[in-house]
Amino acid sequence: MKVKLTSVFFDYTLGFLFLTIFPFSVYTSLYYPNVILEQGLSHRIFYFHVSVAWVALYGPVLSAFFAILYIARKNEFWDTLSYTSSKISLLFAIGVLFSGPIWAKSAWGVPWDWSDARLQSFFVLVVSLFSYFIFRNLVTNPVNKPLFSSYLSILCALNAVITWGAIRWIENPGNHPGSVLGKGGMDQDMRFAFWMNIIAYHLLFLMLFRLTYRFEKLKIAYDYLRDSAGE
């Protein structure tokens, strides 16, 4: 069994970009842009919250893309990529659930608005991601496990798309603001910090994706060697 775990050039390049941009972006979000007076310093969590939320919405779509390729080709490689994407998506989604109420408390006066379409749809997305891992672990058949997981990945991606459109396609009675890109109201310092953090947390996603994928490949190799030794 041949397992290629890494590309040295890509790893060094990604590592250099991450170690350069991520600390700078975090520092920038904490100290550079002016804060909104009504929210105070808690407004600075906006740069973390929105950046993490973007990745949490992209991740399931990426997982579904790999899942569709698995359904079409039945190659374990695509299932591993899909599974890896779902893992990182859940991690970032949990980050959104923790950071959102902190920001909402300062902006709205309440940590959670049950009338808000974006919040409810995102909560459903998190539940669907948890369900993905529960059902994947319940299925023991090595043929059915990746197949069922692929269909669940597609379901999670549909939930992510609905969450993305919750403030765009329907009348939202809640407090959640509209798209930050469509407002055009950010000052230059806020816009700079915002985009730096968007780049930084996408680099974090790529770093975690590489590490998680490598770990999954090692598990597959270990299982293969263990089964071969037992024959």
Per-position pLDDT tens, the chain of length 231: 555 556 778 888 888 999 999 999 999 888 887 776 566 666 778 888 889 999 999 999 999 999 999 999 999 999 999 999 999 999 999 999 888 888 777 777 777 777 777 788 888 899 999 999 999 999 989 889 999 999 999 999 999 988 887 666 666 555 555 555 555 567 788 888 889 999 999 999 999 999 999 888 888 888 778 777 765
Inside any domain, residue 182: no
pLDDT value at residue 34? 76
pLDDT value at residue 70? 95
pLDDT value at residue 181? 56
The number of distinct structural domains making up the chain is: 1
Please give the model's pTM, rounded to 2 decimal places: 0.84
Give the domain extent around 94: 8-170+187-230
Inside any domain, residue 1: no
Inside any domain, residue 179: no
Q: How far apart are CA 74 and CA 70, in angstroms?
A: 5
Inside any domain, residue 91: yes
Inside any domain, residue 181: no
pLDDT value at residue 49? 87
